[in-house]
């Protein structure tokens, strides 16, 4: 009984780190999906590929930041104003993003 309590206490102490690690992995997958969706579903005509290459996403254990790198394509924000492909990608993927985050949290909590 005492060993079970100690084991549970150790798992609970690791829980924040486990959640952060699982979310970091999940956000990595999500960031890739957002970039892929925005790169493939848009109205603009790609001539040089720079606009598509400007679609970026960074992630940490607290979230995802998707953005247009104006260092790659200075005009990216202007094209996005008429064709919000990055915003549309996020909006389209939102239910899947929510499900993946929930699945990640359920996985960590099921191991406690």
Residue range 6-55, pLDDT digits in tens: 677 787 788 889 889 999 999 999 999 999 999 999 999 999 999 999 99
CA distance 100 to 10: 26
Could you list the beta-strand ranges (E) of the chain.
55-59, 64-68
Put residue 64 in one of left, alpha, beta given phi > 0 → left and psi -120 to 50 → alpha. beta
Question: Is residue 9 within 8 Å of 80, Cβ to Cβ?
Answer: no
| Percent of the chain scoring above 90 in pLDDT | 75
**How much is the pLDDT for 3?**
66
Tokens of 19: 């959640």
Q: 110 pLDDT band (50/70/90 cuts)?
A: confident
**How much is the pLDDT for 6?**
64
Domain boundaries, the chain: 15-110
């Amino acid at each position: 009984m005492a060993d079970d309590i100690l084991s549970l206490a150790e798992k609970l102490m690791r829980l924040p780190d486990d959640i952060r690690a699982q979310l970091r992995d999940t956000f990595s997958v999500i960031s890739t999906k957002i970039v892929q969706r925005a790169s493939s579903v848009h109205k603009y005509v790609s001539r040089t590929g720079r606009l598509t290459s400007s679609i970026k996403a960074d992630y940490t254990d607290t979230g995802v930041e998707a953005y247009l790198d104006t260092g790659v394509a200075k005009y990216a924000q202007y094209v996005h104003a008429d064709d919000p492909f990055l915003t549309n990608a996020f909006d389209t993927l939102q239910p899947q993003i929510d499900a993946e985050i929930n699945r990640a949290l359920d996985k960590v909590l099921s191991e406690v």
